[in-house]
Amino acid sequence: MSTKKPFEQRTLSWVILGVFALSLLAVASFSSSGPLEGDDRIQYLSTIYACPQCQGQSVAESNAAVSATIREFISVKVNAGASDEEIRDELIRSYGSKVLLTPPAEGISLVVWILPVIVAVGGAAMVVSILRRRDEGLRPATEADAELVSQALEQVPASKEQP
Amino acid sequence: MNSTLGYGFAVLGLSASILGALGGTYALATKRLHLLRPVRQWAWLVLVAGIGAFVVMEVALFQRDYTVDYVQRVGSSATPPLYNFAALWSALEGSIILWVLLLAGYISAMLIKFRDRSDDPLFGWALVVMLAISAFFFGLMTGPANPFVPALVPVGFEGPGPNPLLQNHILVAFHPPMLYMGYVGFSVPFSFATAALITGRVGEGWLIETRRWTVAAWGFLTIGIVLGAWWSYEVLGWGGYWAWDPVENASLLPWLTGTAYLHSVMVQERRGMLRVWNLSLLCATFSLTILGTFLTRSGVIDSVHAFADGAVGPWLLVFFGVVAGGSIGLIAWRGDELRSPGAIDSPLSREASFLANNLIFGALAFVILLGTVFPLLAEAWNDTRLTIGRPYFDSLGRPIAFVMLFLMASAPVLPWRKASTELLSQRLYWPAVAAVMAMFVAVMLGARGFYPVLTFGLGGFAAGAALRQVILASRRQGWRGLVGRTNGGMIVHIGVVLIAVGVASSEAYKTDRSATLLPGQSVTVENHEFTYLELRADQNDRRQRIYAEILIDGEDVYTPAQTRYLQSGMVVPTPSVRPGFTEDLFLVLDTTPENPEGPIRLRIIVRPMISWLWTGGALMGIGSILAIFPGKRRRGTEAVSAVLVGAASG
């Protein structure tokens, strides 16, 4: 590992690694199957609706009777060729919007989508401003600094005496 | 008898905590430091009270002493000894006994560790803060959450036993104590942080004193959370381990801020920067443990974990407010002295990547807190009922997790202060090769999908960087290359990578099927043949079990069951799992027929690489232990720690 390759040679091997990695990702993304069908679609749909009696569990996860009913409903609808929107609308009609596990991006629940973005941007801005601080360069030493240094120097012999 | 004795211990604990805290405050405020000595005696009495209360309750549970109200609620003569022992923490009041026992244990450990420092104001204030926390919890025990309330026993009374979900898996005996060891453990660094703010010794001394305590508390919390996930997987019968349930989220929040603290504290130790930030993280971590207890134990959120409800909610909320408000006030008061002297030289440096780490952990904690609390706020605001569940947390958590894995790969190879791209390209080369190899092997084995394959790649990258550090250190220092904070930390990182890979593959390549089967019928799922042999039943004086015998691949018989607990009448499904290195086969008996010849409804879940999660969790625990052992810079920092400064000025 300590053998140093010339810089150009290492750049080349990085490029090869990068191309290889991207092509692997491309193979993985594009060869996966198209839209979900049959059992897989039923399975997926039952993970996005909430069990109305439980806190935040999907009907796929919950063992409650009402979840079994909703799972059965989804399965019947999918096999009858209903679209995702039809299933969604019908479930909201029966159980209210609380049946949605993902809060809709409208009304009051818009907050849970916008606030994280604001916080992330704010946090990133804070980090950038901390990183930028070096741009001010070194400021000249003040009297307070000089005092700190002399205080620290006084303590050096003291700390050596300590066993 | 047990009621009176137990209540006596609670009152003793409360009195000793209050007297100790007040006595200590008086001694410190008037600078009569010799008066700190008796505070130690009060603190030892708190331990006596904690052990006393715990032992009395266990004795009452084992004697089935129904004159204690708590035993009437969770005791039963049919409960086997292990679950009877664990019944102590199966409801709110008992959990508080466990809490004070552990808190008293930590206080005693502090007394022993700092026995030479009994006159040191920093330690004195830390002890006062610990005793104040202990006064609060003993106060709950004597008032709103008294476990020792006496009760009248009706003739022929037989208790219900703990919640059935808390008496069918051995992990119930380990998950809550571990989690509490972590929760309560964070009160030690928190008390030192508060003491540093009060005494004005806000330098790096207190950080170094509490470094190992923090790592230990963090390790316990990690193990506690992983055991909780495992318990949920083995017991709850939906084939998953993490439901983004409010109570699970509550345990994850202090873990996230605690993890951020463990990283950014290194910047302060090394460069003296980020003082306010570190104090805030520590105070946030401790506040979040209280908030977690509030969410779990006040019944404010109904969830599968909230087995308890009671009158303690307002008290916990007030305590949370006092802790959070007090911390913010103290930090603001010492604001001037907390200004950091240094600056970060380059975005390509260890300290800059720790800042990025903190941003990422902070963002994740914020998202989870928001998603957990928002439904409550929305309901309080205008009675909107909404649910925030897995898809929300997944969609916001996933990008954050990718950045985390990337940082885990790049940060450990970055030097302090400043790095050149030349250096990076040299040090990151082999980790990058590991990343591409991981993706290549995964794709060759048939893995598809952008997210999982990206996870394998970034996981290989991070694991490569961690291994690089451990290998280089072991070459230089032999076995010492495995211990110490940096190397132990890298072992923890490898554990995190295993968990990430396990989560990605078990989520992305999960198969979940339901089948209706008559005896003798088979169904094939993911190349495994499941044959339903017959329905059987057995019974003991505690429970009645109906189970289906399922033959997997013509080899082994597994028995998913429906279990009816006789005392409570509750029926819970008991899944049966065939674990494996590459995949788990998870069977749940959904419905049973009236007639044994009728059809059963069987749920079959195939989840790849679940076992990597538990292995990763174990590795994180081992890494934490290794990180506590002294590394190569043994005790080197003691001579310049703030003790001397304090002794000189005080």
Q: Does A129 lie in the same domain as A78?
A: no
Q: Is residue A159 part of a domain?
A: no
A129 touches chain B (CB under 8 A): no
Chain B hits for A1, CB-CB cut-off 8 Å, are 430, 472
What ipTM did this prediction achieve?
0.78
Q: Is residue A73 part of a domain?
A: yes
Q: Does A112 lie in the same domain as A75?
A: no
Beta bridge partners, B535, equal: B548
Do the Cβ atoms of A102 and B640 come within 8 Å? no
Kindly report the nearest CA distance between residue A17 and chain B, in angstroms.
7
Do the Cβ atoms of A25 and B453 come within 8 Å? yes
How many residue pairs bridge chain A and chain B with CB atoms within 8 Å of each other?
Answer: 179
Name the closest residue on chain B to residue A30, using Cα atoms. B449
A47 touches chain B (CB under 8 A): yes
Do the Cβ atoms of A101 and B436 come within 8 Å? no
Do the Cβ atoms of B389 and A57 come within 8 Å? yes
Q: Does A62 lie in the same domain as A111?
A: no
- pLDDT of B306: 45
Chain B hits for A103, CB-CB cut-off 8 Å, are 374, 386-388, 392
pLDDT-above-70 percentage for chain A = 82
Name the closest residue on chain B to residue A103, using Cα atoms. B388
> Residue B444, class by beta-carbon neighbours within 10 Å (0-12 exposed, 13-18 middle, 19+ buried)?
exposed
Q: Does A122 lie in the same domain as A88?
A: no
Beta bridge partners, B549, equal: B534
- pLDDT of B639: 38
B439 touches chain A (CB under 8 A): yes
String of DSSP letters for B84-117: HHHGGGSSHHHHHHHHHHHHHHHHHHHHHHTGGG
Per residue in B167-223, pLDDT (tens digit) is 888 888 999 999 999 999 999 999 999 999 999 888 888 888 898 999 999 999 999
Chain A hits for B590, CB-CB cut-off 8 Å, are 63, 68
Query: What residues contact residue B252 under an 8 Å CB cut-off, 6+ apart?
Result: B225, B368
Q: Does A14 lie in the same domain as A61?
A: no
Number of domains composing chain A: 3
Tokens of A66: 């009402």
Q: Does A73 lie in the same domain as A21?
A: no
Q: Is residue A150 part of a domain?
A: no
Query: d(Cα B291, Cα B421) in Å, to the nearest integer?
Result: 44
The identity of residue B12, as a single letter, is L
- pLDDT of B302: 55
Domain boundaries, chain B: 1-153, 511-608
Eight-class DSSP state of B609: T
Which residue range(s) make up the domain with A12? 1-32
Chain B hits for A123, CB-CB cut-off 8 Å, are 359, 362-363
Do the Cβ atoms of A32 and B448 come within 8 Å? yes
Pick left, alpha or beta for residue A112 (phi over 0 → left; psi -120 to 50 → alpha; otherwise beta): alpha
Name the closest residue on chain B to residue A124, using Cα atoms. B359
Do the Cβ atoms of A98 and B457 come within 8 Å? no
- Res. A122: pLDDT tops 80: yes
Beta bridge partners, B512, equal: B605
- pLDDT of B268: 87
Confidence of residue A142 (pLDDT cuts 50, 70, 90): confident
Contact B413, B427 (CB under 8 A): yes
- Res. A160: pLDDT tops 70: no
Residues of chain A numbered 86-125 and touching chain B (CB < 8 Å): 96-103, 107-109, 111-112, 115-116, 119-120, 123-124
Q: Is residue A16 part of a domain?
A: yes
Per residue in B300-309, pLDDT (tens digit) is 665 444 444 5
Q: Does A52 lie in the same domain as A91?
A: yes
Name the closest residue on chain B to residue A2, using Cα atoms. B426
Q: Is residue A44 part of a domain?
A: yes
Q: Does A96 lie in the same domain as A67?
A: yes
3-state class of A141 per DSSP?
A: coil
A29 touches chain B (CB under 8 A): yes
Do the Cβ atoms of A116 and B367 come within 8 Å? yes
Angle between the N-to-C axes of helices B92-113 and B187-199, in degrees from 0 to 180, rounded to the nearest 10:
60
- Owner of token pair 């290492």: A10
Element (H, E) at A45: helix A38-47
Chain A hits for B240, CB-CB cut-off 8 Å, are 61
- pLDDT of B301: 66
Query: d(Cα A31, Cα A27) in Å, to the nearest integer?
Result: 6
Tokens of B211: 């470094």
- Res. A4: pLDDT tops 70: no
Q: Does A70 lie in the same domain as A22?
A: no
Chain A hits for B344, CB-CB cut-off 8 Å, are 130-131, 133-134
Do the Cβ atoms of B363 and A123 come within 8 Å? yes
Do the Cβ atoms of A54 and B303 come within 8 Å? yes
Name the closest residue on chain B to residue A71, using Cα atoms. B514
A162 touches chain B (CB under 8 A): yes
Q: Is residue A162 part of a domain?
A: no
- pLDDT of B632: 57
More confident residue, B170 or A2: B170
| Average pLDDT rounded to a whole number, residues A70-81 | 90
Q: Is residue A20 part of a domain?
A: yes
Q: Does A69 lie in the same domain as A90?
A: yes
Chain A hits for B236, CB-CB cut-off 8 Å, are 63
Element (H, E) at B364: helix B350-382
Chain A hits for B474, CB-CB cut-off 8 Å, are none
3-state class of B553 per DSSP?
A: coil
A69 touches chain B (CB under 8 A): no
Chain B hits for A127, CB-CB cut-off 8 Å, are 355-356, 359
The closest CB to that of B453, out of A28, A58, A120, belongs to A28
- Residues of chain B under the 70 pLDDT cut: 299-310, 340-341, 631-650
Q: Does A21 lie in the same domain as A1?
A: yes
Q: Does A132 lie in the same domain as A76?
A: no
Name the closest residue on chain A to residue B641, using Cα atoms. A159
> Residue A81, class by beta-carbon neighbours within 10 Å (0-12 exposed, 13-18 middle, 19+ buried)?
exposed
Q: Is residue A154 part of a domain?
A: no
